[in-house]
Amino acid sequence: MKSFEEFATYREIQSQPEAWQQAIERTREVSLPKAKEYQEVVFTGCGSTYYLALAAAALYQELTGCAARGVPAGELLFHPHTILTDHKTLLVAISRSGTTSETVKAVENFRAEKRGEIVVISNYGEALAPLADVNIVIENGQEESVAQTRSFASMYVAATALSARMAGRQDLVKAMDGLPDAANSVINNYEAFARELGSNLDFDRFYFLGSGSRYGLACELNLKMKEMTLTHSEPFHFMEFRHGPMSMVNENAVVIGMLSDSNRAQEARVLAEMKALGGTVIGLGEEETDIVFESKIPESVRGALYLPALQLMAFYRSVAKGLNPVRPRNLTAVVQLNL
> Which pLDDT tens digit goes with each residue over 226-242?
999 999 999 999 999 99
Number of residues in the chain: 339
Report CA torsion sign: 295, 300, 301, 306.
positive
Average pLDDT over residues 59-73: 97
Work out the pLDDT band at 255, boundaries 50, 70, 90.
very high
Instruction: Write the pLDDT tens digit of every residue in 275-298.
Output: 999 999 999 999 999 999 999 999
Q: Break the chain into its structural domains and give their ranges.
A: 4-176, 179-320
Report d(CA 7, CA 11) in Å as an integer.
7
pLDDT of residue 336: 57
Superfamily grouping for domain 4-176: Glucose-6-phosphate isomerase like protein; domain 1 (3.40.50.10490)
Residue 333 in this model has a pLDDT that exceeds 80: no
Give, as one character, the DSSP assignment of residue 212: T
Instruction: Write the pLDDT tens digit of every residue in 90-121.
Output: 999 999 998 889 999 999 999 999 999 999 99
Work out the pLDDT band at 3, boundaries 50, 70, 90.
confident
Q: In CATH, which of 3.20.80.10, 3.40.50.1980, 1.10.357.10, 3.40.50.10490 is domain 179-320?
A: 3.40.50.10490
Same fold yes or no, 4-176 and 179-320: yes
Report d(CA 25, CA 175) in Å as an integer.
13
Residue 80 in this model has a pLDDT that exceeds 60: yes
In the chain the beta strands, taken as DSSP E runs, fall at 40-45, 67-72, 89-95, 118-122, 134-137, 205-209, 232-236, 253-258, 280-285, 291-292
Are the C-beta atoms of residues 323 and 229 closer than 8 Å to each other? yes
What is the average pLDDT value for the chain, to the nearest integer?
95
Average pLDDT over residues 40-63: 97
Q: Measured in Å, how far apart are the chain's first and last C-alpha atoms?
A: 42
Are the C-beta atoms of residues 337 and 103 closer than 8 Å to each other? no
pLDDT of residue 127: 82
**Lowest-confidence pick of 58-62, 126-130, 217-221:** 126-130
Instruction: Write the pLDDT tens digit of every residue in 178-216.
Output: 999 999 999 999 999 999 999 999 999 999 999 999 999
Residue 314 in this model has a pLDDT that exceeds 90: yes
Work out the pLDDT band at 125, boundaries 50, 70, 90.
confident
Work out the pLDDT band at 329, boundaries 50, 70, 90.
confident
CA 224 from centre of chain:
10
